[in-house]
């Protein structure tokens, strides 16, 4: 049997007509082309999904870490600024404490001098305390026993000191007091005390912002708020730790949303007191907040910079969206790539299958422009199959 390579006119006309028409590739379910494209698409989809999720996870971690570093740097800077602000009244008191009118330890002379000087300071009241007596004598005539307070003990030991928030008779609102030692004959003879409104600390923290919702606040080592944009929290000496402890001693019928947020704040404050420096989070008004905090040296205070988590991580949604677009683009490119790969594998098999089908029908003619001759030049399995087929037809 010999291979017939005749080119019939009708075949040529048919071929020319076919060449005029655009090639219409049909993908039938179950075909080799379909399987290759399906497998490649599934693999690319899986890889794109894994890589996309991994990229989003890594980018989220990087964005979060950078945001935390920024907040931490701001909190540490705020702590340094606060320390500097606290040193200002201490410097004023230290300068005044060296005046001869005060070192003479004559109470009447001291009160007279302080009454004259207070108008040139930012203190709401001044007082002197004799180390031998332990009572503080204020310029308005008020006398208070402050000898058992820690900041007084520090001052009598020769240190500059600042008190916790206290309520005393000289003011209708909580105050903080600063103390400087009065030295006479190289020995601490007493202490000079200056009282300031507690709002001075809030004025300081109110100058600190972060993003759209960020603010600063400050607590002491018991969890009491000493500075906040809501001055009522300061005046009421709000302490979530104490409120949770008080609530736990009762038997509520159920835990409310407010109670959950209160416990979140209490846990956050407790963490601040224990760690002194760090990053944390809490829930408030139905939103999650992030905060960075640092200790104010020389005091028992911890200052924190807080902001809504969505505000802190505001760049994350756009980054996630961009990564999603990239993943979809990669997937689309992969599908197109798999189509061409599938076609490159399937086309030779389909063409050879058609020739074998004609051979099965005893049609041994092969057009001289048949792609089988091109396949014979290939060195892969397709080339071997084409060569074997042509050899069989020629024999």
Asked if residue 272 and residue 291 are part of one domain, the reply reads yes
Domains in the chain: how many in total? 2
Asked if residue 144 and residue 213 are part of one domain, the reply reads no
> pLDDT of 121-157, one tens digit each?
999 999 999 998 889 999 999 999 998 899 999 999 9
> SS3 for the chain, per residue?
CCCECCCCHHHHHHHHHHHHCCCCCCCCCCCHHHHHHHHHHHHHHHHHHHHHHHHHHHHHHHHHHHHHHHHHHHHHHHHHHHHHHHHHHHHHHHHHHCCHHHHCCCHHHHHHHHHHHHHHCCCCEEEEEECCCCEEEECCCCEEECCCCHHHHHHHCCCCEECCCECCCCCCCCEEEEEEEEEECCEEEEEEEEEEECHHHHHHHCCCEECCCEEEEEECCCCCEEECCCHHHHHCCCCHHHHHHHHHHCCCCCCCHHHHHHHHHHHHHHHHHHHCCEEEEEEECCEEEEEEEEECCCCCCEEEEEEEHHHHCCHHHHHHHHHHHHHHHHHHHHHHHHHHHHHHHHHHHHHHHHHHHHHHCCCCECCCCCCHHHHHCCCCHHHHHHHHHHHHHHC
User: Would 106 be classed as within a structural domain?
Assistant: yes
- Would the pLDDT of 3 be above 50? no
366 or 130, which is more confident? 130
User: Would 150 be classed as within a structural domain?
Assistant: yes
Asked if residue 209 and residue 108 are part of one domain, the reply reads no
Please state, for a pLDDT cut of 70, what percent of the chain lies above it: 81
User: Would 85 be classed as within a structural domain?
Assistant: no
- Last residue in a domain, options 295, 313, 331: 313
- Last residue in a domain, options 197, 220, 240: 197
The CATH number of the domain where 259 resides is what? 3.30.450.20
Asked if residue 216 and residue 309 are part of one domain, the reply reads yes
- Last residue in a domain, options 197, 229, 256: 197
User: Would 319 be classed as within a structural domain?
Assistant: no
Range of the domain at 153: 98-197
Asked if residue 222 and residue 156 are part of one domain, the reply reads no
User: Would 47 be classed as within a structural domain?
Assistant: no
> pLDDT of 45-84, one tens digit each?
888 888 888 888 888 888 888 888 989 999 999 999 998 8
Asked if residue 191 and residue 217 are part of one domain, the reply reads no
Asked if residue 215 and residue 308 are part of one domain, the reply reads yes
User: Would 333 be classed as within a structural domain?
Assistant: no
């Amino acid at each position: 049997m010999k291979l017939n390579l005749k080119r019939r006119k009708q075949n040529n006309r048919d071929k020319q007509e076919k060449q005029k028409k655009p090639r219409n590739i049909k993908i039938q379910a179950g075909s080799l082309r379909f399987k290759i494209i399906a497998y490649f698409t599934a693999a690319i989809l899986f890889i794109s999904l894994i890589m996309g999720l991994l990229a989003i996870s890594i980018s989220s971690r990087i964005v979060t870490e950078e945001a935390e570093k920024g907040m931490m740097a701001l909190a540490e800077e705020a702590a340094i600024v606060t320390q500097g602000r606290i040193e200002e009244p201490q410097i004023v008191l230290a300068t005044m404490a060296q005046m001869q009118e005060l070192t003479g330890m004559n109470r009447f002379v001291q009160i007279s001098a302080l009454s004259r000087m207070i108008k040139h300071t930012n203190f709401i009241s001044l007082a002197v305390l004799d180390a031998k007596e332990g009572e503080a004598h204020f310029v308005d005539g008020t006398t208070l026993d402050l000898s058992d307070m820690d900041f007084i003990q520090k001052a009598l030991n020769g240190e500059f000191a600042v008190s916790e928030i206290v309520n005393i008779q000289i003011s209708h609102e909580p105050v903080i007091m600063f103390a400087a030692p009065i030295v006479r004959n190289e020995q601490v003879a007493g202490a000079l005390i200056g009282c300031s409104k507690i709002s001075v600390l809030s004025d300081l923290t109110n100058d600190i912002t972060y993003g759209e919702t960020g603010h600063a606040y400050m607590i002491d080592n018991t969890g009491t708020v000493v500075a906040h944009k809501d001055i009522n929290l300061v005046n009421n000496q709000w302490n979530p730790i104490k409120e949770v402890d008080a609530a736990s001693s009762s038997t509520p019928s159920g835990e409310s949303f407010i109670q959950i947020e209160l416990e979140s704040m209490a846990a956050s404050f407790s963490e601040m007191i224990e760690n002194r420096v760090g990053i944390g989070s809490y829930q408030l008004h139905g939103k999650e907040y992030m905060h960075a905090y640092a200790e104010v040296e020389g005091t028992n205070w911890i200052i924190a910079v807080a902001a809504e988590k969505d505000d802190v991580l505001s760049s994350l949604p756009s980054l996630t969206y961009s990564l999603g677009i990239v993943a979809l683009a990669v997937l689309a490119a992969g599908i197109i790539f798999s189509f061409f790969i599938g076609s490159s594998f399937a086309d030779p098999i389909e063409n050879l299958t058609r020739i074998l089908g004609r051979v099965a029908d005893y049609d041994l003619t092969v057009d001289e422009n048949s792609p089988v001759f091109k396949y014979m030049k290939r060195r892969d399995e397709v080339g071997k199959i084409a060569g074997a087929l042509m050899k069989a037809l020629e024999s």
